[in-house]
């Protein structure tokens, strides 16, 4: 079975994947010219960034729980909400796709793997790895390529 991050990318249009990748490369290039402290702050931001899985799971949980509570307290008709949301979550778990995913991807929500690529490229730029050194904007793009490999 393919990793979730790969399945999300496989079920996302090439145009959107390219845009997300290009934005990550542009950010790495931008931070290549910044201070080590700025790069460290960006890495910390990336550690806190919500990925696709977390967003889908949180949204599904909130909607399903809301539907259950409203179904138990107001009208049984609300039980349709978890009846719709939970199969979407199951579909995502099995296939790597569900109806809200294209919307979130268009909004720029990334997979954990995509976030980690940017994070490790910034670590390369910052000089965290002995094998790779970086001093220019073009090496920031090279760092992204190295992390993709």
Name which of 3-12, 94-103, 127-136 the model is least confident about. Answer: 127-136
Number of domains in the chain: 1
pLDDT of residue 31 exceeding 70 = yes
Nearest Cα residue to 62 out of 94, 91, 33, 100: 100
Query: What's the burial of 81, exposed, middle or buried (CB within 10 Å: 0-12/13-18/19+)?
Result: middle
Q: What pLDDT, on a 0 to 100 scale, did the predictor assign at position 29?
A: 95
Residues 6+ apart with CB under 8 A from 30: none
55-62 average pLDDT score: 96
- Give 114-130 pLDDT, tens digit per residue: 999 999 999 999 999 85
**Cα–chain center distance at 60:** 17
22 is in which domain, residue-wise?
4-148
| Per-residue tokens: 28 | 């790495």
Question: Residue range 78-85: average pLDDT?
Answer: 97
- Whether pLDDT at 149 is above 70: no
């Amino acid at each position: 079975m393919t990793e979730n991050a790969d399945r999300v990318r496989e079920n996302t249009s090439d145009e959107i994947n390219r845009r997300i990748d290009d934005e990550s490369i542009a950010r790495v290039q931008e931070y290549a010219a910044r201070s080590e402290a700025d790069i460290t702050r960006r890495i910390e931001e990336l550690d806190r960034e919500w990925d696709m899985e977390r967003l889908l799971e949180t949204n599904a949980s909130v909607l399903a729980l809301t539907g259950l509570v409203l179904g138990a307290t107001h009208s049984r008709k609300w039980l349709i909400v978890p009846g719709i949301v939970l199969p979407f979550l199951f579909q995502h778990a099995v296939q790597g796709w569900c109806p809200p995913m294209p919307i979130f991807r268009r909004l720029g929500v990334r997979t954990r793997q995509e976030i980690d690529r940017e994070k490790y490229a910034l670590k390369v730029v910052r000089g965290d790895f002995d094998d790779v050194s970086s001093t220019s904007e073009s090496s920031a793009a090279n760092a992204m390529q190295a992390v993709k490999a």
